[in-house]
A = this chain, B = another copy of it.
Amino acid sequence: MSKIINIKDVAREAGVSIATVSRVVNKLSTVKRSNKIRVERAVKKLKFTPNVSAQRLAAKSNNAIGLVIPRYSDIFHSFYALQILQGIGLAVERMKLDLLLHITDGDSFLNTSAVEGVIFSDIIGNEEQVDNVLEKDMPCVIMNYLTKDLPVSCVAIDNFNAAAKAVQYLIKLGHSKIATITGELKSQVAIDRLDGYLKTLEKNKIDKKKNYIKYGDFGRDLAIKATKELIDSKTPPTAIFAASDEMAVGAIQVLIENGINVPHDVSVIGFDDNQLALGFSPVPLTTMRQPLHKMAVTATETLYNIITKKTKGHKRIILPAELIERSSCQSLT
C-alpha cells in the first residue's frame, strides 16, 4: 500500500494547517475561498482519503450502521433478503453511511463498537442479539416484526389488513367458498395473514370451514399438497388465498394440471409480488404487493433519525400492502 498520505501531508502541500484541511474535508464553511481551493487541489493531487478509523475515534461517531440478517436459505426469504438488502444499500449510500453486514445463525454477534446503530432484518433467531444491543442503549430497529414487549422501533408490513384486503377482494368478486394456504405459522407474518383471512370471512358472515384452511410454510411443496386436498374435497373452493406467491404459483400449477381453469373455475390470489415466483406462473398472478423496498428505506431512515436524535423514544411504523390485479382472479359467474 505505497505511502499512505495523511492530513499532514495535505496540509504541507497546501501550505495550511491540518485544522484547515479538516475543515475543508468536512465541508465546514468557515474557510477562505482561496485556501479551500488550495486544499482541494492538494487533496486531489495527493489522492488523499481520510482515515475513517481516526475520524471515528476523534469524532466519536462512526457513521456506520450494522445490518443483521439470519442465514436463511429458503426461497421466500431469498427474495425478501435481497429486496431488503437493495433497499438498505440504496438508503445507506444516499446518507453516506457505511453498512456493516452480519449474516448469522444467531450464534455470532455483530461488532457493535463498529457501528452507531443496527437494523435487524428479522428477529427470528436473533432475540439474544437484540437484547444485547438494547442493553447498550444502542439505536436499533427491527424489521417485519412488531414487538409488544421490547422498547424498540419496528418497521413492518400490515399483514393483517393486507390479507383482509385480499380476501375482501375475492368476496367482492362473488366468492364465498374461499380457501387459504397459510405460511409457516411460527412467524408473526403468517399468523397475521391467516388472521386477516379469518376476520374478513367473519365480518362478511361467511362460514369458516376448517378444511378450507390448509397449513403451509410459504414454500411450494406444502402448497401443492394442500391444493390437491382442496381439489379432492367434496366442496372444492372457488377461490384460494395463498400467503405467498410461491405457494400461489404452486397451487395454480396443480389446478391446471388437473384440468381446472384459472381463473375461470378457481381464482387464486398470492402475497408478496415476488418477482422470483411470478415469472413461473402459468397465469399472471394477482397478488398483494409488499412494499419491501420502502420498508428497508424506512427502517434505515428511522434508525438514522434515532442516531441523530431527531427521533426520541421508539416508533412503530406499519406499511400498507397494495393489491396488484392481474389475471388469476375473476368474478364468479
Taking Cβ atoms with an 8 Å cutoff, the residues of A that contact B are 1-2, 47, 49-54, 56-57, 62, 64, 67, 69, 71, 73, 75, 78-79, 81-82, 85-86, 89-90, 93, 98-104, 108, 111-114, 135-138, 219-220, 246, 249, 253, 275-277, 279-280, 282
A62 proximity list for chain B (CB < 8 A): 53
Do A93 and B108 form a contact, CB below 8 Å, given A78-B79, A220-B279? yes
Do A89 and B103 form a contact, CB below 8 Å, given A51-B113, A52-B113? yes
A78 proximity list for chain B (CB < 8 A): 78-79, 82, 276
Known: A2-B137, A85-B103, A90-B103. 14 other contacts (CB 8 A): A1-B138, A51-B113, A52-B53, A53-B113, A53-B114, A54-B57, A64-B100, A64-B114, A67-B101, A71-B90, A85-B85, A89-B103, A99-B102, A253-B282
Q: How far is the CB of A90 from chain B (nearest CB, A)?
A: 7
Do A101 and B103 form a contact, CB below 8 Å, given A1-B138, A57-B51, A78-B78? no
Do A101 and B99 form a contact, CB below 8 Å, given A75-B276, A279-B75? yes
CA distance A57 to B86 in the complex (A): 31
6 shortest interchain CB distances as A-B pairs: A89-B103, A53-B56, A280-B280, A53-B57, A101-B101, A52-B114
Q: How far is the CB of A306 from chain B (nearest CB, A)?
A: 11
Q: Determine if A50 and B103 form an interchain contact, defined as CB atoms under 8 angstroms apart.
A: no
Do A275 and B75 form a contact, CB below 8 Å, given A82-B81, A101-B89? yes
A114 proximity list for chain B (CB < 8 A): 52-53, 64, 98
Which of B53, B100, B249 is within 8 Å of A53, CB to CB?
B53
CA distance A282 to B93 in the complex (A): 41
Which of B103, B135, B137, B249 is within 8 Å of A86, CB to CB?
B103
Q: How far is the CB of A268 from chain B (nearest CB, A)?
A: 15
Nearest residue (CB) in B for A71 is: B86
Q: How far is the CB of A272 from chain B (nearest CB, A)?
A: 14
Q: Which of A101, A104, A136, A246 has the most CB atoms of chain B within a 10 A radius of its CB?
A: A101
Q: How far is the CB of A299 from chain B (nearest CB, A)?
A: 15
When all copies of this chain in the complex are counted, the total is: 2
A220 proximity list for chain B (CB < 8 A): 279-280
15 interchain pairs, CB-CB under 8 A: A1-B138, A2-B137, A49-B113, A51-B113, A52-B111, A73-B275, A75-B275, A75-B279, A78-B82, A85-B85, A93-B102, A98-B100, A99-B101, A99-B102, A100-B100
CA distance A78 to B50 in the complex (A): 34
Q: How far is the CB of A187 from chain B (nearest CB, A)?
A: 20
CA distance A266 to B277 in the complex (A): 25
A112 proximity list for chain B (CB < 8 A): 49
Q: How far is the CB of A257 from chain B (nearest CB, A)?
A: 9
Q: How far is the CB of A176 from chain B (nearest CB, A)?
A: 31
CA distance A51 to B112 in the complex (A): 9
CA distance A263 to B71 in the complex (A): 35
CA distance A3 to B279 in the complex (A): 53
A71 proximity list for chain B (CB < 8 A): 86, 89-90
